[in-house]
Amino acid sequence: MQPKYSAIKGLLLLLLGVAFTPCLAQPVLNRNITMNVNDQPLGSVLHIMEDKGKFNFSYNSNLIRQDSLVNIHVANQTVKDALNKLLNNQFEYREAENFVILRYAPYQLAMSTDKFLNDDQSCVITGYVANERNGQKLQNASVYCRRPIASALTDADGHFEIKIRNENQPVILTVSKENYKDTSVTFLSDVKVTENKNGTSGTNGSNGAYRYLPGDLSGVEKSGVGKLFISAKQQIQSLNLGGLITQSPFQVSLAPGLGTHGAFSGQVVNAVSLNIAGGYNAGVNGVELGLFNLDKSDVKSFQLGILFNVVGGSVEGIQIGGAFNQVLKNVNGVQAALGFNNVEGNVSGVQWAAGFNIAKKLNGVQFAILNIASGDVNGLQIAPANIASGKFTGIQLAGLFNYAKDLKGIQIGLINASDNSSGVSIGLLNLVQNGYHAGGVYSNETTDANLVYKTGTHWFYNIITAGAKLDKNKKQYTYGVGYGNELPVFNFLAFNTEATASYVYQGNGRYLNVLYRLDETLNIKLGHSFGIQAGPSLNFFYNQQKNPVAGYNFVPNEPNHHQTNNPKYTRWLGWTVGINFF
């Protein structure tokens, strides 16, 4: 019975899978939804539609009044029909993976042609673009062919001329302009075959592998470098075409807009991109080389910019820039520059720069003169100065300064700072804003009065100390640093182990005299901010000064100090007693 049961179960699962697969593959705009909403903010209604249709919207929030109250009643109707009712046919809808891009387009375009010249090598099409409602000729409308790739902008009279390589197949021209719905016209020889005012021809790959990307893709154009190098013509194309993206195996450009794809280059993802001076493309899925490279969207595999690289999407692979690399989203791989690397998103991999590295979250390694992570870090930062403004798990290694907002790992540097710490800070000065802080006044067998400040964590803190012997005939001054550990036994009782090294002034500053102390003390806490600390100590004293100075104490002559095999060293057992202020 068991084998039979398993076979039946497997068959049912197979049938369910076959039945369910078309639902998963169904275009978003064709999915059916049911909604009954009265007097709800438009933004909330769009969220409800996302939940019911299992997709996400992408739109410019400045063009949709999300607080306006709307009503919608649809029963088992498509997402597209529901949107037409909700938005009063004022928008155009484009699908990008599981996104629906809402493009404000209340007006309709009309395209007319006055010339179609065709020969064995190419065809030339000229015509006009106008507002369908009033016939007004429109300037700066984008007219483009999806395959082969070609594009043009209309002039002040709405006129265009586009030259297309002849591939003995129908030619589909699409016209796009901001605030207008796309219109497409298909030509075969001298005959106009069809006109599609929804502009959907070829978007599913029948006339070229075109797709749409959600989100704002204007980051590179808005950057300082983009404004300098990307022409107004290309910026107008991007404004008209938005997230429309196609692919090409190869492109060569002399400068942005001067290449095999012309002003349409910002809409093309290339497998191989060679930019002699510089280039502007939609992205790279292979290799890109150039004096400088500008990419609207993602770059994958390898990118080399002798001067710089600016990427509006993410980088996956290896990116090498001369002066700098700037990435507006994430990096997954290796990034190197002689100047700096600036990633506005997260880095998973390695950032190396002769100048500085900037990232949001880091999962990997940063190596530079200055490393900055504005979010969490899990990895390694190596530089003269490191900054992590989130949770830090890993190692910060600095010649000068380390900062971590929430330290979970290890800091090694001259000065280490953190807001909160459950890790380890090793340096001359370790500061933890919300950590262990204590001040105290102590006395020991060497100096009568000592001021001590402790900062760090309970189990590893930094000590700064200064002391003096108050006998006017045997003066002596000390100052030093050290480390300590507090081991709690009860709330009111702890053991403290402290190691310090202090310079001892015995009347002559030309000599190096250093006292090394190891104190093991009992810390009795008598209140929230007051306690007594006392215990024995083990002392080693290194003395270069050969003779005492009148009026000053000479440590080697103190009783109970024992000589070692090295005459410059003495040792003895001592004591410490004092008061702590927390």
449-480 pLDDT, tens digit per residue, is: 999 999 988 888 999 999 999 998 999 999 99
pLDDT above 70: residue 9: no
Residue 308 contacts residue 355 (beta carbons within 8 Å): no
Confidence tier at 189 by pLDDT (50, 70, 90) = low
Lowest average pLDDT, out of 55-59, 136-140, 348-352, goes to: 55-59
How much is the pLDDT for 195?
53
How much is the pLDDT for 198?
53
Read off the pLDDT of residues 65-90 as tens digits, 9 standing for 90 and up: 888 899 999 999 999 999 998 998 88
Most confident of 3-12, 56-65, 209-218, 327-336: 327-336
How much is the pLDDT for 528?
76
As given in the structure block, the two tokens for residue 302 are: 């390898």
**What percentage of residues in the chain have a pLDDT greater than 70?**
92
Region 182-205: mean pLDDT is 57
pLDDT above 60: residue 329: yes
How much is the pLDDT for 543?
94
Average pLDDT value over all residues in the chain = 88
pLDDT above 50: residue 440: yes
How much is the pLDDT for 169?
76
How much is the pLDDT for 561?
87
DSSP H helix total and E strand total for the chain = 6, 42
d(CA 372, CA 394): 15
pLDDT above 90: residue 351: yes
Which DSSP helix (H) or strand (E) runs through 129?
Answer: strand 122-131
d(CA 377, CA 371): 11
**What is the bridge-based pairing of β-strands 347-353 and 107-118?**
unpaired
d(CA 520, CA 316): 54
Q: Which residues of 2-28 are buried (b: 16+ CB within 10 A; e: fewer)?
A: eeeeeeeeeeeeeeeeeeeeeeeeeeb
Residue 299 contacts residue 282 (beta carbons within 8 Å): no
The CA radius of gyration of the chain, in Å to the nearest whole number, is: 37
pLDDT above 70: residue 10: no
How much is the pLDDT for 199?
43
How much is the pLDDT for 62?
82
Read off the pLDDT of residues 99-156 as tens digits, 9 standing for 90 and up: 898 988 999 999 988 877 777 778 889 999 999 999 999 999 999 988 788 889 999 9
Give backbone dihedrals phi and psi of 547, rounded to 5 degrees, phi first: -130, 145
As given in the structure block, the two tokens for residue 142 are: 């984008």
pLDDT above 80: residue 5: no
Residue 119's closest CA among 152, 150, 161, 163?
A: 163
Between residues 114 and 574, which one has the greater pLDDT? 574
How much is the pLDDT for 197?
55
Residue 214's closest CA among 136, 100, 295?
A: 100
Confidence tier at 209 by pLDDT (50, 70, 90) = low
- Lay out the sheet containing 171-176: strands in order across: 150-153, 142-145, 171-176, 183-188, 191-196
Read off the pLDDT of residues 230-279 as tens digits, 9 standing for 90 and up: 988 888 888 888 888 888 999 999 999 899 888 889 999 999 999 999 99
Region 163-181: mean pLDDT is 86
Read off the pLDDT of residues 380-421 as tens digits, 9 standing for 90 and up: 999 999 999 999 999 999 999 999 999 999 999 999 999 999
How much is the pLDDT for 449?
96
The angle formed by the CA atoms of residues 465, 579 and 407, to the nearest 5 degrees, is: 60
Residue 562 Cα to chain centre, angstroms: 61
Residue 310's closest CA among 332, 285, 277, 283?
A: 283
